[in-house]
Structure 1
Amino acid sequence: MVLVVGDGMGPAHREAARLALAGTDGELAMGSLPVAGLQTTIPADPSSTVTDSAAAATAWATGEKTANGSLAVGPDGERLTPLGREAAEAGLATGLVTTSAVTDATPAAFFSSVADREDQDDVAEQYLTAAGPSVVLGGGAGVWDDGLLDRARADGATAVTDADRLASAEGDRLLGLFAEGPLHAAPDPEVSLAELTRVALDRLSADPDGFFLVVEEEQVDEAGHANDDDALLTAMASLDEAVEVAREHAEDHPGTLLVVTGDHETGGLAVEDADPGADDAIPVAGDDDRAVDLDWSTESHTAAPTPVTATGPGSEQLSGTYPNTHLHEVMREVLLG
C-alpha cells in the first residue's frame, strides 16, 4: 500500500493546482482516483483545535489522537506502536520518501515513537532498529552523523547521496540523503519526488509479503506558511507527478491500496477570480480568458478538513466524512488483516 501526503494540502490547494496545471475540464492524477472522502483533523491537545503534522500523522499511524508535537506518543505520554513498525514486524517491506528531512514529523510518526518531534536524532536511531524502514529517501543529511551512518552500513544499508549512486545501489536496505536540510529547499536537487517514489516502489514491491510506503511532499506546507503562490504550484506539480507514479503502479498491481491526502490545511487558502492581465493572476491552463487569484488568510495551519482520494482494496471505506483516525483503521486492515 502507498500513502501519499501533501503536507498542508487542503481542498483549495488541490483546486488551485487543478486549474493552473490541468484547466477547468482537466484533472490531476490525485483527482482521477475513483474514491473521494473528507477527514477532520482536530488533535487531542488541551490548548489547540488545530493540528500540527506530528499529531496528524500519529492519528494515521496509530489510530490514536494526541497532542501537537508528539510522534506515536499518546496524550498521557504512553508510547504507541506505529503502523510502519507493525508492518515491518509482520514481515512486510517498508519505506518512506519525502522532500523534507527523512526524520521530520510526517514520516517519523510511522516508524518511531518520540515525545517531541524535534528529537530527530532519536527518530534516526529508531529507524536503525529491526522494525525500521528498509528504504529511506529524502533530505536531512545533517541529522545523520558519522556514527549513525556507520550503524546504518553495519546493518546492511547502502547509503547514497547522489542520483548516480542511487541508480546503482544494491541490497535490501537503502538510505538516500540528498540534501543537508529539506530536499525541497536545496538549490538544485538531483532527484525529484517522483523519481524517488519510483525507486522505492521498485524495491519494496519486490517483496512477496507486500509493502507499505509513505510518500510526502513537504513544500506544500512551506508554501502555505509563506503565502507563496509560485512555490505552492511548484510543490503541487511535484506531488502530483509522484501520485502519477504511484497510480500507474497501482493500476499495474490491482492489489495495491493507494491513498492521497493532506495532514492539515495551511494558509487558509481561497481560490478567487482574477483579471487575466493582473500581475499576480494565475492563468487557468488552456484558457486565455480566465485566471485566478490565491487569497491567503493566515500563515498558520487551520482546522479545515482535508480531502482524501483513493483506489484499490479497502478504498471504498474512505468515502464520506470521518476523523483522521479512520484512515489508520482502513490502512491497518488492508496491511495486516
Structure 2
Amino acid sequence: MPSTSRVSVIAAALVLGAASLSACSSSSSDSELPKNPSVIILSGDGMGPQQRTAIQYYLYGLDERQPMDALPYTGFLDTIPGDPEYAVTDSAAGATAWAIGKKVPNGTTGLGPDGESVPTLLDIAQDRGMSTGLVNDHDITNATLAAFGSPVPDRDLKVDIAKGYLDRGIDVLFGGGEKYWYPEGEPGKIPDEGEDDVSEGDENLVARAEADGYQYAYDQTTFDALTGPKALALVQDSAKRRSTEIEGYDYNTDPYYVAPEKLVSKALDILGANDKGFFLVIESDDLDSDGHEHDAQNMMLAGESVNNMVKVITEYQKDHPEVLLIVTADHETGGMTIENVLDDGEPEPNSDQIADDPVPYWAEIPENMPLPGGGVPKRSGPFPIKGTDREFKVDWTTPEHTGTMVPVTAAGPLAERFTGVHPNTYVYDVITELWGHN
C-alpha cells in the first residue's frame, strides 16, 4: 500500500477516535435500560474505513454525513482471528466472534474454539422469548448469518445451514440463495439466468418450511403479502450486482427483486410484534464480493443499500428507542485505497493485483484489471465527490481479506459502549450486558 494511503487510514482512525471520546460524555445506567431491549447487527461484509469513505464521498459528498456514519457513537473493532498463526480473519471466524464472544480459528462457523457447540446470541435471544431474524442482500446461507443461526463444521455446507435455520425455528429468513432450498432438477420460483442459479439442494426445504408454518415469498407481490409471525422470502440474489454483470438485466424491472431496505422494513414489522423484543442480523454480502472482484462501481450500489437499510432502522428507532443498532464489518476486503485521479497532471497508476474474478463476466475485456501502464479500469473510477468538482479513483492491493481494524457505529441503549477500540468479541459482550446475560 502506498505510504499516502496508510497515512489516510491512520488519519481517519484518529478522527473517529476523537469523535468517540467526545461521545463518551453520557452513558446508560442499568436503571435506564429498557426491560425488553431489541438488537440489530448490520454487517457490511468486507467494509473497511476506505470503503465507508468512498461511499460517503460518492453518494453524500462532503457536507452531508451518510446514515451509517451519522449514528451517535463510533469506535473500532479488531478483526484478528483465533488462529495463532494468522493475522487476517475470514467471515466465518469474524462473525462467530460476535455470535459467541470468543476468538475462533478461520473457517469456524458458530462453534467454539475447539469445534464445540456453544450458545450463540440468537440462541440466547430465543431463550429470552425474543423473535429472531436473518436478512441478506445475497445468499442467506452464507457464513456470517450461519454463525448465528446454524452452526456447522464447514461454512460451505449450505444446504445443512438452511436446514439448521428451520430446525431452530428462526422467525424471519429473507434473502437470496434459492438454489440451496430446492433439490437438483427442481428450478424453484425464480428464473435461472445461468449455471450459478441452478438448484443444488437434496430436498424441497421450501415445502418443509411451509409445513412448519412459514409463509413463503419469492417476488414483490408475494413478499408484500407476508404478515408473519414466521416468514421465508427467497428473492433475486444480488440483484444490483446482476445489473452490471448480466447484459440486459435491470433490477428495477425484475419482479423477483425486493430492495434490501424493504426486506428490513418487513422484518421489523413482523419481529416487532413480540413484546419481549427481537434479535435481527442483517448483512450486505455484496460488499465483500465487490472487494474480492475489485469492483468499486458495484461497491457503491451495495453501499447505497446499506445506508438505505440504516435509514429504515433509525426511523424505526424513533418510535422504538429500546432498539440497539450496531453497524460494522467482519473484516476489510481488497486492501482498497482512495487515490487522486491526477497527480501533477499525470494519472497515479493502478496496481497490478489480480482480482478473484473478472467483472463483468460477459465482457471480452475485464473492467476491473489495470490497463497497460497502470491505467484506471472502468470499475475503479473515476468517481465524482458529490456536489463538488473533485474526483477520485480507487486502487486495490489484494483480491483477499486484510487485517485492518473496522469501524463500528451504534445507536440505542448501551451504544456508547462502542466508543474506543475493542476486540470484535466485544459485540457479544455489549449485547449480553444489555440483556443481563453476562
Provide the TM-score with structure 2 as the length reference. Answer: 0.73
Are 1:2 and 2:40 counterparts?
A: yes
Match in the other structure for 1:287 = 388
Please give the root-mean-square deviation of Cα atoms over the aligned residues, in Å. 1.8
Match in the other structure for 1:236 = 303
Matches within 5 A, 1:64-103: 64-103=102-141
- Paired with 2:112 and 2:106, the residues of 1 have a C-alpha distance of 10
Aligned partner (choices 13, 17, 22) of residue 60 of structure 2:
22
Instruction: Name the structure where strand makes up a greater proportion of residues.
Output: 1
Are 1:302 and 2:340 counterparts?
A: no
Match in the other structure for 1:220 = 287
Match in the other structure for 1:135 = 172
CA contact (8 A) 1:7 1:218 kept: yes
CA contact (8 A) 1:60 1:327 kept: yes
Single out whichever of 201-210 and 166-175 deviates more from structure 2.
166-175
Report the structure number with the largest CA radius of gyration. Answer: 2
Are 1:203 and 2:270 counterparts?
A: yes
Find the residue that maps to 2:289 and give its secondary structure: helix
In the TM superposition, residue 137 of structure 1 has moved relative to its aligned partner by 0.2
Q: Which amino acid aligns with 2:219?
A: D
Are 1:159 and 2:260 counterparts?
A: no
Find the residue that maps to 1:227 and give its secondary structure: coil
Match in the other structure for 1:31 = 69
- Paired with 1:335 and 1:235, the residues of 2 have a C-alpha distance of 31
Match in the other structure for 1:252 = 319
Match in the other structure for 2:415 = 315
* Gap regions ≥5 residues in structure 2: 1-38, 183-202, 243-248, 348-375
In the TM superposition, residue 75 of structure 1 has moved relative to its aligned partner by 2.7
Change (3 A) 1:199 1:28: same
CA contact (8 A) 1:98 1:218 kept: yes
Deviations 1:286-321 (A, max 9, x none): 002x11111211111000000000011011111000
Change (3 A) 1:22 1:247: same
Q: Which amino acid aligns with 1:236?
A: G
In the TM superposition, residue 150 of structure 1 has moved relative to its aligned partner by 2.2
Single out whichever of 144-153 and 304-313 deviates more from structure 2.
144-153
Find the residue that maps to 1:15 and give its secondary structure: helix
Deviations 1:188-241 (A, max 9, x none): 352111110111011111110001111111111111111111011111111111
CA contact (8 A) 1:43 1:49 kept: yes
Match in the other structure for 2:228 = 171
In the TM superposition, residue 21 of structure 1 has moved relative to its aligned partner by 0.8
Aligned partner (choices 116, 119, 138) of residue 154 of structure 2:
116
Q: Which amino acid aligns with 1:272?
A: E
Are 1:55 and 2:122 counterparts?
A: no
- Paired with 2:408 and 2:169, the residues of 1 have a C-alpha distance of 27
CA contact (8 A) 1:82 1:112 kept: no
CA contact (8 A) 2:240 2:298 kept: no
* Gap regions ≥5 residues in structure 1: none
- Paired with 1:108 and 1:184, the residues of 2 have a C-alpha distance of 23
- Paired with 1:184 and 1:140, the residues of 2 have a C-alpha distance of 15
In the TM superposition, residue 47 of structure 1 has moved relative to its aligned partner by 4.2
- Paired with 1:169 and 1:240, the residues of 2 have a C-alpha distance of 24
Deviations 1:118-163 (A, max 9, x none): 111221111112x432000000111112532222112110111111
Are 1:149 and 2:186 counterparts?
A: no
- Paired with 1:265 and 1:251, the residues of 2 have a C-alpha distance of 31
CA contact (8 A) 2:111 2:147 kept: no
- Paired with 2:174 and 2:239, the residues of 1 have a C-alpha distance of 10
Change (3 A) 1:56 1:305: same
CA contact (8 A) 1:19 1:284 kept: yes
Q: Which amino acid aligns with 2:287?
A: V
CA contact (8 A) 1:88 1:132 kept: no
Aligned partner (choices 265, 270, 274) of residue 341 of structure 2:
274
Provide the TM-score with structure 1 as the length reference. Answer: 0.94
- Paired with 2:240 and 2:92, the residues of 1 have a C-alpha distance of 19
Are 1:192 and 2:259 counterparts?
A: yes
- Paired with 2:123 and 2:241, the residues of 1 have a C-alpha distance of 29
Find the residue that maps to 2:335 and give its secondary structure: coil
Q: Which amino acid aligns with 2:385?
A: V
Find the residue that maps to 1:94 and give its secondary structure: strand
Find the residue that maps to 2:279 and give its secondary structure: strand
